[in-house]
Structure 1
Amino acid sequence: MTLGGSWTEWKRVPSQVLGERLKTVRSLKELEHEMYEIAKDIETGEHYLHYAYLHRNFKAVGPDSGQEEVFHQLMPLTSDDVLGLLFGEQPYDYPNHWDKPFLRNGPEGDYVWFDPSYAAEEEEHEALGLEIAQQLAKFKAEGDLSEDSVRKLLDKLNKDDGEKKE
């Protein structure tokens, strides 16, 4: 079963296709529960950072308790990324340096694309929410709930939000 083309254009990549086309170029780090390597799609010549980690499922009850699962993730690499990794000049630890879309094993043995950029957006939204809550608490503590005071608060919130977006 060989399907052609770059995996970056696929929504789902069957694990069988990965097994046929992905070859290790260089091992980067191997620990007891995780491994990093540079791998290459032998059909397209594209390189990937391959991260695998062992997880034990202790939440399961019964015979599945403590069962080992291995998860795999593949992040596309540019030529500069490959050189940086080979010469030890580029950090690669997961999740800190996985900031662009990557493949991870998903349902039914297929690999699916995951975009980690939502995490940064989520942090920004949480920080904005906290700041607004603090301003509202301060406003409430001051005790002036007049229409003019509320309008000034809303204008300030809108102005602050506009400055952050620029």
Structure 2
Amino acid sequence: MDKDGLKAPRDKVWPYEDGLPGGINDVGPLDPFRPAGKSGGFMITCMPKIHDGTGVYLTPSNGRASFKAHAVLAEYRYPEEPAVNGRLPARSAWRKAPAVVISPSSGTLERGAKIPLVVSGRFSLGDKKFFLVVENGDRSNSITIPFECFR
């Protein structure tokens, strides 16, 4: 209920609330026909732009939940290493994937909500990989989805 006693729209994204401990779930891709990548995520075209319909549906797992979404560059031991070998670096070493946009990038979801988390923009680092990392409000729960780019 909102402050006027009216029922709030269930699938609306409310402003982010720091420290809210509710869990978050990825409940499937926006495009159910998106091919799976070798590392368990998605294979996508990234140039000249990220394929339309890229992203996932997000829901709270137990009551209200806040989230922040990040596009994080994969880490490689050497530059020529195949995309599939890219790893998620430690949080303190995260680097934003340039020109990748997550929408919405943060917010709070009510119990039972299901919203699209859309990945768009460009990723011009060739046949490499980035991760969509979605953390809940107190960082006790997160979702990590790899995106492998091909031309």
Structure with greater strand share of residues:
2
TM range (shorter): under 0.3
Which structure is higher in RCO with an 8 Å CA cutoff and minimum separation 6? 2
Structure 1 or 2, whichever has the larger Rg, is 1
TM-score of the superposed pair, with normalisation by structure 2 = 0.27
Task: Specify which structure has the higher proportion of helix.
Answer: 1
TM (norm. structure 1) is 0.26
